[in-house]
Amino acid sequence: MTTADDRPMSARFKEGCADLHDAAESSDFARRMVKAELTRDDYIEMLRRSLPIHAALDKAILTHRDAVPQLKALVTDEQLHAPHIRADLEYFNESTSDIQPTPALSEAIAKINHAADTNPLLLLAFHYVREGANNGNHFISRKIRQNLDLPERDGSRHIDPYGPAQREKWAAFKTTLDALPFTPTERDQLVETAREMFRIVMAIHDDLSTRAQTV
């Protein structure tokens, strides 16, 4: 008989986060992304508000990667997100030196840093969620590029980092993930941490929706 702990880790993540995945996709800001209703200003602000969180996660992963075998095996430099966001903002001639997280997003960064300090293996779960988001974003990016008159790559690297290679990259990521060793307790902790990352994504979207209502 197959138990929850016998299932591949990618399946554990997917099944354990399904409700929050659906909730994140149904947020007002996410729906506007899917429908390509974001203005150029909306899109740039999304990049600006995303940068501190992804920079914090990148830094934490790089700090602990060599000491955590699972992180070392799974996370490559190509998968780091902050460089893509900075490149996108540079395309829009936006400075990154003045970007500061909002209070809500500062709380999200604190959760990432707490995981890094107490159990850096859990950084893998935060990273899994953002890598998985590339799947849907690969298709959404086409609409955004058309709506905002962007070229094929510049300006949208954060939401579509691998372009046509997305499916191949995700398959390789999951294969590596599912081959990694985890204890039953670690599997449960990783799923709960992935759920926390979905909450962080929703916090970003809520932040952006609130801003749009006040502009």
Distances (CA, A) of 72 to 61, 142, 151, 162: 9, 32, 33, 20
Q: What pLDDT shows up at residue 212?
A: 57
- Given a cut of 60, is residue 215 above it in pLDDT? no
pLDDT tens sequence across 165-200: 999 999 999 999 999 999 999 999 999 999 999 998
Task: Output the pTM of the full model.
Answer: 0.92
Q: What pLDDT shows up at residue 36?
A: 82
Average pLDDT, the chain: 92
Cβ count near 67 (within 10 Å): 9
Give percent of the chain above pLDDT 70. Answer: 95
Mean pLDDT value across residues 131-159: 92
pLDDT tens sequence across 63-82: 999 999 999 999 999 999 99
Mean pLDDT value across residues 19-25: 90
Q: What pLDDT shows up at residue 88?
A: 97
* CB distance 193 to 13 below 8 Å: no
Q: What pLDDT shows up at residue 207?
A: 79
Mean pLDDT value across residues 122-147: 94
**Residue 25 confidence class, pLDDT cut points 50, 70, 90:** confident
Give percent of the chain above pLDDT 90. Answer: 74
Between CA 190 and CA 87 the distance in angstroms is: 30
* CB distance 56 to 111 below 8 Å: no
pLDDT tens sequence across 85-127: 999 999 999 999 899 888 888 999 999 999 999 999 999 999 9
The ranges assigned to domains in the chain are: 27-214
The topology under which CATH files domain 27-214 is Heme Oxygenase; Chain A (1.20.910)
For residue 187, with 0-12 CB atoms within 10 Å meaning exposed, 13-18 middle and 19 or more buried, which class applies? Answer: middle
Q: What pLDDT shows up at residue 182?
A: 97
